[in-house]
Amino acid sequence: MTVKNVTKVVVVGGGTAGWMAAASLSKLIGPNIDVCVVESDEIGTVGVGEATIPTMMTLHQLLKIDEREFMAAVQGTFKLGINFENWNKIGDSYMHAFGRTGQDCWAGGFQHFWSRGKQLGISEEYGRYSASYVAAKAGKFAALSDQSLSYAFHMNATLYAKFLRKMAEQHGCERIEGKITQVDCHSENGYIRSVTLESGRTIEGDLFVDCSGFRGLLIDETLDTEYEDWSNWLPCDSAVAVQTESVGEPIPYTRAIARDAGWQWRIPLQSRVGNGMVFCSKFLSDDEAIETLLNNVEGEPLTKPRIIKFRTGQRKQHWNKNCIALGLASGFVEPLESTSIHLIQRGIIRLLQMFPHEGVRQPDVVEFNRQMSDEFVFVRDFIVMHYHLTQRDDTPFWRHCQSMPIPDGLRHRLDLFKQTGRVFQEAGDVFAENNWVQVMLGQGLMPEQYHPIVDSMSDAELNHFLKGLTGNVDQMVNQLPSHQEFISNYCSTNSM
Ligand SMILES: Cc1cc2nc3c(=O)[nH]c(=O)nc-3n(C[C@H](O)[C@H](O)[C@H](O)COP(=O)(O)OP(=O)(O)OC[C@H]3O[C@@H](n4cnc5c(N)ncnc54)[C@H](O)[C@@H]3O)c2cc1C
């Protein structure tokens, strides 16, 4: 044990990560500790990160955030999945929809029934058995109390940070504006003692949460924590982002459209659309990326295109001495599956569970780092899969993706699925069986076998079963209002 009685927490950075951490710490354990956030208006935030996954609700439930209030504050829309276009072949499209598809049984997931049905020519497209998919394609949505429609959010990241800041300040968190120019450590153990601002003000703390973005002011520049580089598996290293006017009603899903040397996102908000393109600088220059993006947006640009450079990977230690890195400071797997905010949330919940009230204990640090690393690795593998399984060979970038090495864990998963149709969700993996299956099938990886339990159904019974599922999905989706209609009644920004 090296630090006694953690009572003062300094959060460095006021982006999404900083304010998520500050709101959570001050609201949930605030009475026992002092929390402050240091942020620099001059440096600003990365300002992207507008699509989420359903797990975000976990933190919102902990913080007792009212969904309507949150959605109105962040000009939010609802997200039922991600539509992948041109990923397998040009002209192809599939959706990674949230929630269940079809019906599983003890022996395995619905894909086994679907595969047999496909052999017999009676299965429809896999997505037809998912209520989220069918509702998304129909532009329909409702937040149903029985949670039969699994969903996440699209939101304005800057407004989200503001929303959380208000909550943190209401719970006693102090916001300190200023640029940190110096960080001092205790000479005996190298723990961080204080940060000093350009103005000369020094802020001391017992525990430091590094949310300073890609630079990792504390975890990297001060503590020199090693970075595990994953660019050999994920070649994209750049992005360009631009906001545009909305040209129609918001769709209830994110679009991820593969381009010649990367992919483009479209995230509809209530008042505008967030657009961007993630690309590989070895195959596309910044100017070419800007041109490609601007040629492929719908509304008038509201901002200038902004280039963001990144290095895919993670810190070898997310928690080092008395510093815990969250958000971009802790690592980054590109935004293809909107997982960064989820990983921030996981880090926060873990920190709350292991909060070192009575001092930093090394076993906690080791456990925290093991769990964080596992989660990052599963996300990485899930994303590598999209690139690896492409059948596109029309550009040097896609040919490179096809021939790239892949991590051993992913290789095993793909082999297992291809030969048996089986997928198992491992501890620490945010993606469940049906998430993996949708992307594998969507990317053209068909299982060679299905579980023999399916053969206990006659062909006619299987047909009846499959038809019953699509019938139920249609019945449910038919009753839903349009996405726009639901937003107008439930959480319109205009009604604030
Ligand atoms: C192209 C792209 C697209 C993305 N899309 C998604 C998505 O769809 N979904 C998703 O979940 N995530 C996405 N992300 C990730 C998401 O944007 C980040 O996880 C999230 O914004 C958190 O950022 P942050 O708070 O760690 O860093 P930042 O937003 O960079 O904040 C850093 C903070 O540190 C402060 N700071 C830095 N240095 C100093 C200093 N010297 N003194 C004082 N303050 C300092 C800054 O002022 C700022 O407040 C995306 C990321 C990128 C790059």
Tell me how far the alpha carbon of residue 340 lies from the centroid of ligand 1, in angstroms.
Answer: 10
pLDDT at 451: 96
Rounded Cα gap, residues 284 and 383, in angstroms: 20
Q: Give me ligand 1 centre to Cα 15, in Å.
A: 5
Question: What does the block give as tokens for 321?
Answer: 């001495």
Q: To test ligand 1's pocket by mutation, which of 41, 42, 48 has the most ligand atoms within 8 angstroms of CB?
A: 48
Is the Cβ atom of 238 under 6 angstroms away from ligand 1?
no
**Quick one: pLDDT at residue 416?**
98
CA-nearest of 355, 258, 262, 369 to 308 is 262
76 close to 269: Cβ distance less than 8 angstroms: yes
The CB of 338 under 6 Å from ligand 1? The reply is yes
| Ligand 1 in reach of 385 Cβ (< 6 A) | no
What whole-number distance in Å separates Cα of residue 249 and Cα of residue 104? 34
- The atom of ligand 1 lying closest to the CA of 267 is 8
Q: How far, in Å, CA of 455 to CA of 418, rounded?
A: 19
Could you report the per-residue pLDDT of 341-381, keeping only the tens digit for each?
999 999 999 999 999 999 999 999 999 999 999 999 999 99
Residue ranges of the chain with pLDDT lower than 50?
A: 1
Question: Rounded distance, CA 459 to CA 334, Å?
Answer: 43
Match 């393109």 to its residue by tokens.
277
Tens digits of per-residue pLDDT, 206-257? 999 999 999 999 999 999 999 999 999 999 999 999 999 999 999 999 999 9
Q: Is residue 213 within 6 Å of ligand 1 at its C-beta?
A: yes
> Could you tell me the domains of the chain?
8-50+156-231+312-378 (3.50.50.60), 238-309 (no CATH)
Residue 2, pLDDT score: 58
Sign for the CA dihedral angle at 44, 196, 331, 82 comes to negative
For residue 394, what pLDDT is reported? 97
pLDDT at residue 147, rounded to an integer: 81
pLDDT at 212: 98
SS3 content of the chain, % helix, strand, coil (to 5): 40, 20, 40
Sheet holding 8-12, edge to edge: 174-177, 34-39, 8-12, 207-210, 323-325, 319-320
pLDDT confidence of residue 145: 86
Is 22 near ligand 1, meaning CB less than 6 Å away?
no
